[in-house]
Amino acid sequence: MVVEDSPVQRDHMAGLLRQAGFGDVLQACDGIDALRKLNARGMPVELVLTDMDMPGMDGMELMRHVCELELAASLLVASARQERLHEAQAGMAQRAARVALLGTALKPLQLDVLNEILERADTSGLRQATATGLPALHEVAAALSGGQFLPYYEPRIDIATGMLRGVDVQPCWTHPVRGLIRAARFMPVLQGTDLIAPLTAEIAAQALRQLHAWHEIGLISLGMSIKLPAETLADRAQVDQLSALVREFGVAPHTVIWECPEAVLAGGAPLTIANLAHLGVRGFGLALGGYRAGHTTQQQLARCPLTELRIDPVIVHEASRHPPRRALLQQSLDAAHQMGMAAVAEGVELVEDLALLRSLGCELAQGALVAAPMSGSALAGWIRNNRRRLKELANASAPSLAG
């Protein structure tokens, strides 16, 4: 993938990569566009070649996201400014990640320079690492049969009060050797396979059992958001099975929110829309995940009874420091409120961003500032230990939200 805001430079660098032996070269105009395309792809790319200075999200922050989410096997940084290349090298040196920085190059990038960097990096080895970076399908199948999958829960708070309002269910794999493996490392393998339905049902069953247990100990207002893949939403039998699970565990439908990917709604498949409406009629909440203004129209949003818009962390993170990102955040929140939906900000890491979200009228937040995903048994203790901190967060103000 080439990430560059100048169309001329972007085409030039994409052409160089093709000459160097890369076949399909994705292109993105900035970091936000790159993350959207990388996440949609579902598996890591071999190389991300990025500029450093771009509007919206610059190369340094893109590198951080690529490393944390392991969206590429390697990175190569280009810039017209030597000092920015030094910053990239220093930034990568501080990250213990499975993403390698192959090198840096001054712009305009030349083919001989690119080839020299790739030869030094042993690109063939990197191709093999990328191919094996995800588990094999038979490994996932065996893990599912062996009961190695379980839900983790990411707390979601009311921004105005700091009160816990719900949890977001995160599927995890408890691997006997590699430890806890997050969904980003195994869900791409399952897309389009027969394993996605049983895994979704298994995670939902465990999570609903836990929600019932929380309600039994007095956390009666606690809600839960569970992600549903496109395959499930397109199958009425699977949708009915999930509804039956809610009844089986004695959980009130209004405390369960089913989350669908933005691409599913944008695609507008009639059966999927009908199944979402069916869930809404049964009293469940419905959320649209990964939302950013401009990718889904209000006409598309109006096609099913959504109750929440979950704002993509790409535009939430450091929105208080970047006016273009703040503008996208404002547009996304406006879209939610115009449609009568609550807005949930995902990926909140900074007090300044939380204060900005409060000032813009966002209702709910989750992310590292609130808490990392945790096991079901850890939640009650986390609530006891964090009541005061969360209340202080609700009252905290940023040093400055100007500019």
Task: State the pLDDT confidence band at 124, using cuts at 50, 70 and 90.
Answer: very low
Query: What digits encode the pLDDT tens for the residues 206-229?
Result: 999 999 999 999 999 999 999 999
Contacts of 80 (CB under 8 A, 6+ apart): 53, 106, 107
pLDDT confidence bin for 96, thresholds 50/70/90: very low
Residue 290, pLDDT score: 83
Whether residues 51 and 200 fall in one domain:
no
Of 113-122, 127-136, 314-323, 350-359, give the range with the top mean pLDDT.
Answer: 350-359
Q: Is 214 in the same domain as 286? A: yes
Per cent of the chain over pLDDT 70 is 89
Rg over alpha carbons for the chain, rounded to the nearest Å, is: 22
Task: Specify whether 239 is located in the same domain as 322.
Answer: yes
Task: Check residue 403 and give its pLDDT.
Answer: 37
**pLDDT recorded at residue 98:** 58
Verify that 188 and 209 share a domain, yes or no.
Answer: yes
Q: Can you give the residue range of the structural domain that contains 40?
A: 2-131
The two structure tokens encoding residue 283: 């009293």
Flag whether pLDDT at 306 surpasses 70.
Answer: yes
pLDDT value at position 131?
42
Same domain for 358 and 220, yes or no, is yes
Mean pLDDT of 162-191: 88
- Give a yes or no: residue 109 inside a domain: yes
The pLDDT assigned to 181 comes to 84
pLDDT at 400: 47
Indicate if 152 and 98 belong to the same structural domain.
Answer: no
147: its two tokens: 């009961």
Q: Write down the pLDDT at residue 180.
A: 84
Residue type, 325: R
**Statement: residue 402 has pLDDT above 50:** no
- Tell me: do 171 and 268 sit in the same domain: yes
Please report whether residue 220 resides in a domain: yes
pTM over 0.85: no
**Of 296 and 218, the one with more pLDDT:** 218
**What does the angle CA 376 – CA 39 – CA 124 come to, to the nearest 5 degrees?**
110
Last residue of a domain, one of 112, 131, 150: 131
* Residues 224, 75 share a domain: no
Choice between 242 and 312, residue whose per-residue pLDDT is larger: 242
CB atoms within 10 A of CB 248: 12
pLDDT recorded at residue 27: 93
Token couple for 228: 């549903």
Q: Is 310 within a domain?
A: yes
Q: Please provide the average confidence, as pLDDT, over all residues in the chain.
A: 86
DSSP-assigned beta bridge partners for residue 181:
173
- The answer to whether residue 310 scores a pLDDT higher than 90 is yes
More confident residue, 270 or 357: 357
Residue environment code for 211-225, b if the CB has 16+ CB neighbours within 10 A, otherwise e? bbebbeeebeebbbb
- The whole-number average pLDDT for the span 326-345 is 94
Take residue 161 and report the two structure tokens written for it: 């009060």
Does 365 map to a domain? Answer: yes
| Whether residue 59 is found in the same domain as residue 184 | no
- pLDDT tens column, 36-87: 888 776 667 888 999 988 887 888 888 888 887 778 878 898 888 887 776 7
Residue 278 exposed, middle or buried by CB count within 10 Å (0-12, 13-18, 19+): middle
What is the number of structural domains in the chain?
2
- Burial of residue 277 (CB within 10 Å: 0-12, 13-18, 19+) is middle
What CATH number is given to the structural domain containing 117?
A: 3.40.50.2300
The maximal CA–CA distance of the chain, rounded, in angstroms, is 67
Does 313 reside within a domain? yes
Helices (DSSP H) in 222-362: which residue ranges? 230-233, 236-248, 262-267, 270-281, 298-301, 313-316, 323-338, 351-359
Same domain, 114 and 154: no
What are 79's two structure tokens? 């810039």
Q: Mark whether 217 and 358 lie in a shared domain.
A: yes
What pLDDT, on the 0 to 100 scale, is given for residue 103? 79
* Residue 402 in domain: no
**Quick one: angle between helices 196-216 and 137-145, nearest 10?**
40
pLDDT in tens, 346-369: 999 999 999 999 999 999 999 999
| CA pair distance 348, 316, nearest whole angstrom | 7
Residue 297 CB partners (closer than 8 Å, separation 6+): none
Whether the predicted pLDDT of 382 surpasses 90: yes
Distances 247 to 201, 232, 332 between C-alpha atoms, Å: 14, 18, 34
- Greater confidence (151 vs 290) lies with 151
Q: Are 122 and 237 contained in the same domain?
A: no
